[in-house]
Amino acid sequence: MSLPGPRILIPFVALAGGMTIAAPAPRSADIPRDFTLSNGVRTTLDQLRGRVVMLNIWATWCVPCRAELPLLNAYYRRHRGEGLVVIGIAVDEGKTPADQLVSPAIAYLQARHVHGRDLTVSSVPTSYVFAKSGRLEHVGRQAFDARSLERVLGPLLKAK
C-alpha cells in the first residue's frame, strides 16, 4: 500500500494548521464596556470616544504580560497627551491580586471588579484597541513589542 503523495497532503496540513491558529473575532458583547477604575472613577467605552483606547487583559502569573507592562507604560506616558487611554484588566482571582504587582510607577489605570470568568478571552495577554470613533480596530492575542505597538497605535493616534 502506498502513502498519499505530498501534493495531496499539503492542502490538508495547511487547512488543519489554519484551523488551530484562527480564533473567532470577538463579538461586541464579549468586550467589557464599563469599568470602575483604580482611581475609583466609573467609566464606559462610550465616554472615551474621541480617544484611542486600549484594553489590555493580563494576569500576574503571565510572564509575557508582566514583560509587556513597562513597554505599555512607557508608550502611554509618551502619548497620553495625544488622546491615548490604556486600561489594564487583570484576570487574577486567586491570592495574588494585581494590586500587589502594579506599582505606583505604572501610569495607566487598572479596571477593578472585572472577573476573568466574565471575559471570553482565550489567552492572556489580549488587547482590544479602539479608534477615536469607538470602532474596534485591533485584537491582539500576544504581548506587544515596541514595533508592533507603534504599528497598531501610531496611525490611530495620528488620525483626526
Query: Average pLDDT per run of 10 along the chain, which is 160 residues long?
Result: 52 40 52 86 95 94 92 97 94 60 74 65 92 96 96 96
pLDDT of amino acid 21: 41
pLDDT of amino acid 5: 55
pLDDT of amino acid 73: 95
Would you say 76 and 105 are in contact if contact means Cβ atoms under 8 Å apart?
A: no
- The pTM of the whole model exceeds 0.75: yes
Dihedral of CA atoms 115, 149, 132, 28 in degrees, nearest 10, equals: -40
Tell me how far apart the alpha carbons of residues 125 and 147 are, in angstroms, rounded to a whole number: 17
Please name the CATH architecture into which domain 27-158 falls: 3-Layer(aba) Sandwich (3.40)
